[in-house]
A and B are shown apart, each in its own frame.
Chain A
Amino acid sequence: MSLLSKKISELQQRAENAIRGGGDKAIAKQVAMGKLPARERIRRLLDEGTFYEYDLFIQHDAREFGMEKQVLAGDGVIIGTGKINGNPVAVYAQDFTVAGGSLGSMHARKITKIMDYALKMRIPLIGINDSGGARIQEGVNSLAGYGEIFFRNTLASGVIPQISVILGPCAGGAVYSPALTDYVFVVDKISKMFITGPEVIKSVLGEEIDMESLGGARVHCETTGNAHFFAESEDECFEQIKTLLSYLPANNAVKPALKKTASPSKKYDIEKIVPVDPTSPYDVRDVIRAITDNSEFFEVQELWAKNIIIGYGRIDGKTVGFIANQPLYLAGVLDCDSSDKAARFIRFCDAFSIPIVTLEDMPGYLPGVDQEHAGVIRHGAKLLYAYSEATVPKITVILRKAYGGGYIAMNSRHLRADFVFAWPTAEIAVMGPQGAANIIFRKEIMEAEDPEAMRKQKVQEYKDKFANPYVAASKGYIDSVITPKDTRKFILQSLDISVQKNASGPKKKHGIPPF
């Protein structure tokens, strides 16, 4: 054996040992829990044969509690680069088979290395989380590691897309890295996220709850809004990530890749989707599909705050962010959660040069003590802030109801929408006919011989006069009243016109959004 082959064989031996992670037994246990091993996850996520690993031979430097005798393969995390849809990405995956994926200082240093790399190279970052939390033996060094990660998440925010994939426990302080990233993916029965677990909650507050109901995938998708994508399996989750990335640019200085265009499917007849009767519900996603290329729509946060729809589609091959009131749920009202959901999406689109199309059909903000006490003023303001601040092309189509404060909030001309269109079915007014008639004609109604008949008459009068798009059109608040069938044409033309849009505001360090 030559000296070189000896050296090479030593390298191979070392690599083999490191790649084995926590060993066959630990890997078998991981699989028994219904989870894929960390390396297999990376393999399935990335384009075949594109993964290059770094820092395989990292060793922890803990010297307390007998740690000096322990060798932890790769210190419980795998980092590297690869490609998805042919485009470069940086990735890390915590390896639960090595010391429970616990985060020590070298483990954190590997993660921050790949984060620095992603930021410097301006490529998306994907973090796969599967960890028991801080490595207690490493004490404050472990906490320092989390802090370094959070700082970098914030630094990279709005520069490169950051994706968190929760494929195991992610508890305590560890949850804040995903919370700082742009998109959180979870898988049913595998993902668990919480600050304090069920045992603590029981002993402290006496509330009994199981882990799944406290911080399982479904809870974070339906109730908390912490997660953005729900999958039944890890493979489905990886497919979702690939689809999401296909819509996004690699960083904030480039535009998303164009995809070959295709017309919307004939299955979605835009004139038949929306009932003329403003009290009849429908699925606004069908309207989006009647507009987008190939009728494709990739929804974000499908299960949370269902009264507003957000997600991506393409028009003439270009990525567009859609925001639409959803009459199918809660009558499509704006409330705390829906404002929060849409506002964050708008800021993402704005940061990454993705034009925003808003489809409006909403009766206003949801009344109620719980909403007021939950801070609907503060949350609702996020939506106004996000729309006003965004300088990407902004197009609004008013389908039916646009009442009151909600009309202003949903990307109105007054918040500097570039183009506002309305269907002939649009009702743009300060409030609904019932409420408005009761206030404006209170005296006439009260003094009438038959107040009920008078009320009806006045409601009808108000409806005829104001529940239409023409009052707003007469003031130039909307640019055109268009037929539903022309919607795609008008949006496409508006996007074409706006390619070189320049609408920079005054110089400032940063604004102060209401959060």
Chain B
Amino acid sequence: MEENKQLIKIPVVIQDAVAETTTLEKKQGGIHLSEGGRVYKTYLTKKFAERKSWKAPNPLQVLSHIPGSVVEICVKVGQKVKKDDKLMVYEAMKMKNIVKSPMNGEIKEINAKLGEHLPKGALLLTFKKPTGKK
């Protein structure tokens, strides 16, 4: 497929079940949208074109919710923890925030380094995949 003919679809009916879909074709500058033989010309907004696809979060990863740095690590690799156990102290916005365990499990890896300044969404810690069921 040519670069400027990237095909995507957008919904035309806002309803609950299966909606009709429409093919959208990117052509020089504009977008040609055809639906049941009818053709519309439209443009994608910059925000729509650059949006990130949704990905399911990995329940085994603990991420930072706010920019800051880890000032204390309270667990070790291989340690078994219970839900709500204290994992780390994460300093951000003038506060020593306590990072609690989201689950019962075993620590596989501690990804964040002490004192390192981290952005939002940084990987702090990884849990081991539970064995047995699932």
**Contacts between chains A and B (CB distance < 8 A), count:** 90
Q: Which of B14, B18, B97 contacts A281 (CB 8 A)?
A: B97
- List the A side residues contacting B21 at CB < 8 Å: 200, 203-204
**Could you name 8 residue pairs across A and B whose Cβ atoms are closer than 8 Å?**
A171-B15, A199-B17, A200-B19, A203-B9, A278-B95, A279-B91, A279-B95, A281-B98
B18 touches A333 (CB 8 A): no
A331 to B66, CA, bound (A): 9
Q: Which of B16, B65, B92 contacts A133 (CB 8 A)?
A: B16
B54 at the interface (CB under 8 A from A): yes
A172 touches B14 (CB 8 A): yes
A61 at the interface (CB under 8 A from B): no
A204 touches B95 (CB 8 A): no
Q: Which of B8, B16, B19, B92 contacts A331 (CB 8 A)?
A: B92
With contacts A173-B14, A196-B14 known, is A279 near B94, CB below 8 A?
A: yes
B108 at the interface (CB under 8 A from A): no
B78 at the interface (CB under 8 A from A): no
A308 to chain B, nearest CB (A): 14
B14 touches A331 (CB 8 A): no
- List the A side residues contacting B120 at CB < 8 Å: 368, 370
With contacts A132-B16, A172-B16, A330-B65 known, is A200 near B11, CB below 8 A?
A: yes
A205 touches B17 (CB 8 A): no
- List the B side residues contacting A366 at CB < 8 Å: 66, 93
A363 at the interface (CB under 8 A from B): yes
Which A residues are closer than 8 A to B by beta carbons? Answer: 132-134, 169, 171-174, 194-197, 199-200, 203-207, 209, 213, 278-281, 327, 330-333, 363-364, 366-368, 370, 401, 432
Q: How large is the interface on B (under 10, 10 to 19, 20 to 34, 35 or more residues)?
A: 20 to 34
B67 at the interface (CB under 8 A from A): yes
B16 touches A363 (CB 8 A): no
Q: Which residue of A lies closest to B53 (CB)?
A: A207
A401 to B9, CA, bound (A): 49
Q: Is the interface of B mostly helix, strand, loop or mixed?
A: loop
Which B residues are closer than 8 A to A by beta carbons? Answer: 8-11, 14-19, 21, 53-54, 56, 65-67, 91-98, 119-120
Q: Which of A134, A204, A367, A368 contacts B11 (CB 8 A)?
A: A204
B97 touches A331 (CB 8 A): yes
A204 to B8, CA, bound (A): 7
Residue among B8, B15, B53, B96 having the largest count of chain A Cβ atoms under 10 Å: B15
- List the B side residues contacting A203 at CB < 8 Å: 9, 18, 21
Considering the complex of A and B, which 5 residue pairs feature the smallest CB-CB distances, nearest first?
Answer: A171-B16, A331-B95, A331-B93, A133-B16, A363-B94
- List the B side residues contacting A204 at CB < 8 Å: 9-11, 19, 21
B97 touches A209 (CB 8 A): no
A6 to chain B, nearest CB (A): 45
Q: Which of B18, B96, B97 contacts A200 (CB 8 A)?
A: B18
- List the A side residues contacting B95 at CB < 8 Å: 278-281, 327, 331-332, 363
A173 to B10, CA, bound (A): 18
B96 touches A281 (CB 8 A): yes
Q: Which of A134, A327, A363 contacts B15 (CB 8 A)?
A: A134
A35 to B18, CA, bound (A): 24
B54 touches A207 (CB 8 A): yes
Q: Which residue of B lies closest to A401 (CB)?
A: B94
- List the B side residues contacting A213 at CB < 8 Å: 56
B13 to chain A, nearest CB (A): 9
- List the A side residues contacting B93 at CB < 8 Å: 330-333, 363-364, 366
A432 touches B94 (CB 8 A): yes
Q: Which residue of A lies closest to B55 (CB)?
A: A207
- List the A side residues contacting B66 at CB < 8 Å: 330-331, 333, 366, 368
B15 touches A172 (CB 8 A): yes
A57 to chain B, nearest CB (A): 29
Q: Which residue of B lies closest to A367 (CB)?
A: B67
- List the B side residues contacting A327 at CB < 8 Å: 95
- List the B side residues contacting A172 at CB < 8 Å: 14-16
Q: Which residue of A lies closest to B100 (CB)?
A: A328
A328 to B16, CA, bound (A): 38
